[in-house]
């Protein structure tokens, strides 16, 4: 019955006279625009347009642009500090990766290129490649994310810039109600500007740097909390290329006894975070103390000197008043690693205005003094302008 009806309907449609051309075009145009409109709405409903090309798997891209104007002792300059390109994406169900490529006046370099597991059992996470080792509180933070314009001298002196390291790190999150994170790492060296070792060439196992870190956190009240970290980076042995003219050694590359180095650290952070304040209100007090112990090598002779123990550290307070403004003070004390009696004191005042989440202005005034007779104070004013384009994430380490 229904089939007969279908035949009848089809025959009737065929028998119908064709409409005039003009009348036919108008509905077709209407239908076309209607379809287009519907298609647009469906695409919106389904989120991003269907990605049919291989580009759909391209990593997320973001870039931080960091520029400054710096005046130190009446000599000023505009500084192009960095353009930092960040790429990140999952590699497969078990791995993700990110890369930071930084261009600055010093050239272009790979700052980070990290593979990180996402599916290891027992709360383990492994990361490898070129990474920022998990030492300390601020040392692994990218320059433009620091609370001050210029990296504290204590970090530069003890670590050598950011904790950039070629190697492997494994973290373990304790399966407890208390937050407790343990990290073990092994690297060629730690510190981008650490010239004790380099990333080229092979080495024996006792010439790598080994890191251990424990980090924990406690809520004191609903609005106050503390975070505590303790760490040590140990390099069992160090080889140097001696100056044959000075030492008379037949082998230029030598390893002297007792050349181990330990960089130990203790960091403490207190945060007052009013419950209605979110990310932009509250107070942060961060302190970190480091102890470096090693036999230093004479810059000219390349011969080892006595073992030297030098301390360095910083403490800062940052007050966040509202979504836009925050400011504070940082004090930094750094003993010279060759001569611990030579102490550099730096006091920095900083004021930050977050225009939006993606644009920041910062003004700092720093006063530095080395405790040697006749030394004069060093005054530095810096104005920093930072912008972020593309992908922007709130990482746990940057909180």
Partner 1 sequence: MRSNIILALSLSIVGASAASALTLNVVATLPELADIASRIGGEHVKIDTLARGTEDIHQVVMRPSLVPKLNKADAVVYLGLTVEHTFLPGLLNVAANPEMREDAVKQCAGPGCIDCSEGVKVLEKPSTLSRSEGEIHPSGNPHYNLDPEEGLTIARNIAAGFSRLDSDHAADYRKNLKVYLAELEAKIVLWRKWAAPLKGVKAVSYHQDVPYLARFTGLEFVGTLEVKPGVAPTPSHLEKLVERMKQDKVALIVREKQFAPKLPGWMAEKTGAKVAVIGTMGKAFPGTDTFIKMSEHNLQALLGAVGKAP
Q: Footprint of partner 1 on this chain (CB under 8 A)?
A: 44-45, 47-48, 60, 88, 118-121, 123-125, 173, 175-179, 181, 217-219, 222, 225, 227, 273, 275-280, 322-324, 356-358, 389, 391, 393-396, 399
Task: Output the smallest distance, CB 75 to partner 1, in A.
Answer: 36
Residue 130 Cβ vs partner 1, minimum distance, rounded to whole Å? 19
Minimal distance, residue 158 CB to partner 1, in Å: 25
According to DSSP, the β-strands at 60-72 and 209-219 are unpaired
Report, in Å, the least distance between residue 135 CB and partner 1.
17
**Least distance from C-beta 35 to partner 1, angstroms?**
19
Contact 381, 364 (CB under 8 A): yes
Residue (98 or 297) nearer to partner 1, CB: 98
- Measured distance CA(12)–CA(157) in Å, rounded: 91
For residues 244, 245, 249, 255, the Cα torsion angle rounded to the nearest 10 degrees is -50
* DSSP code of residue 349: E
From the list 79, 88, 146, 83, the residue with the least C-alpha distance to 116 is 88
Q: How far is the CB of 49 from partner 1 (least distance, A)?
A: 11
Residues 6 or more apart whose Cβ sits within 8 Å of residue 21: none
Q: How far is the CB of 305 from partner 1 (least distance, A)?
A: 42
The distance of Cα 326 from the centroid of its chain, to the nearest Å, equals: 21
Q: Are 108 and 83 in contact (CB under 8 A)?
A: no
Query: Across-strand partners of 263?
Result: 233, 292
Strands in the chain per DSSP E? 60-72, 75-92, 95-104, 107-117, 124-132, 164-173, 179-187, 209-219, 224-235, 239-241, 253-255, 261-272, 282-297, 304-320, 325-335, 343-356, 359-370, 378-390
Residue 146 beta carbon to partner 1: minimum distance, rounded to whole angstroms:
18
Contact between residue 345 and residue 359 where contact means Cβ atoms under 8 Å apart: no
Nearest of 334, 393, 392, 371 to residue 150 by alpha carbon: 334
**What is the Cα–Cα distance from 72 to 365, expressed in whole angstroms?**
10
Of the pair 170, 317, the CB lying nearest partner 1 is at 170
- Residue closer to partner 1 (CB basis): 21 or 45: 45
Q: How far apart are CA 252 and CA 223, in angstroms?
A: 59
Cβ count near 398 (within 10 Å): 10
- What is the DSSP secondary structure assignment for residue 51, as one 8-state letter? -
**Residue 165 CB, nearest distance to partner 1 (Å)?**
19
Q: Which residues contact 34 (CB under 8 A, 6 or more apart)?
A: none
Q: Between 30 and 357, name the residue whose CB sits nearer to partner 1.
A: 357
């Amino acid at each position: 019955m229904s089939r007969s009806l279908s035949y009848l309907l089809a025959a009737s449609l065929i028998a119908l006279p064709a409409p005039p051309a003009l009348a036919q075009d108008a509905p077709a145009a209407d239908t076309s625009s209607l379809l287009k409109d519907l298609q647009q709405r469906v695409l919106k409903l389904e989120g991003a347009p269907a990605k049919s090309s291989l580009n759909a798997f391209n990593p997320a891209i973001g870039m931080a642009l960091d520029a400054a104007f710096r005046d130190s002792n009446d000599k000023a300059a505009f500084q192009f500090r960095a353009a930092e390109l960040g790429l990140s994406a999952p590699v497969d169900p078990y791995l993700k990766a990110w890369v930071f490529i930084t261009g600055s006046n010093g050239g272009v370099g790979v700052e980070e290129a990290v593979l990180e597991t996402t599916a290891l059992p027992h709360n383990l996470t492994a990361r490898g490649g070129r990474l920022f080792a998990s030492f300390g509180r601020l040392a692994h933070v990218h320059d433009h994310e620091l609370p001050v314009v210029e990296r504290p001298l204590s970090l530069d002196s003890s670590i050598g810039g950011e904790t950039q390291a070629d190697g492997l790190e494994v973290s373990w999150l304790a399966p407890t109600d208390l937050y407790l994170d343990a990290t073990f790492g092994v690297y060629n060296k730690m510190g981008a500007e650490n010239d004790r070792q380099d990333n080229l060439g092979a080495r024996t196992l006792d010439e790598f740097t080994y890191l251990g870190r424990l980090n924990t956190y406690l809520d004191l009240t609903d609005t106050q909390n503390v975070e505590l970290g303790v760490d040590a980076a140990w390099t069992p042995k160090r080889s140097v290329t001696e100056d044959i003219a000075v030492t008379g050694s037949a082998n230029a590359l030598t390893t002297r006894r007792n050349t181990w180095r330990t960089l130990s650290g203790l960091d403490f952070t207190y945060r007052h975070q009013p419950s209605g304040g979110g990310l932009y209100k509250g107070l942060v007090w961060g302190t970190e103390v480091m102890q470096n112990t090693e036999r230093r090598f004479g810059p000219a002779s390349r011969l080892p000197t006595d073992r030297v123990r030098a301390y360095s550290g910083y403490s800062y307070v940052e007050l966040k008043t509202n979504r836009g403004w925050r400011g504070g003070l940082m004090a930094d004390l750094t003993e010279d690693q060759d001569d611990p009696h030579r102490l550099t004191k730096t006091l920095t005042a900083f004021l930050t205005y977050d225009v939006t989440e993606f644009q920041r202005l910062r003004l700092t005034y720093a006063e530095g003094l080395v405790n040697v007779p006749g030394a004069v104070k060093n005054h530095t004013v810096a104005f920093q302008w930072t912008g972020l384009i593309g992908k922007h994430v709130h990482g746990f380490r940057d909180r």
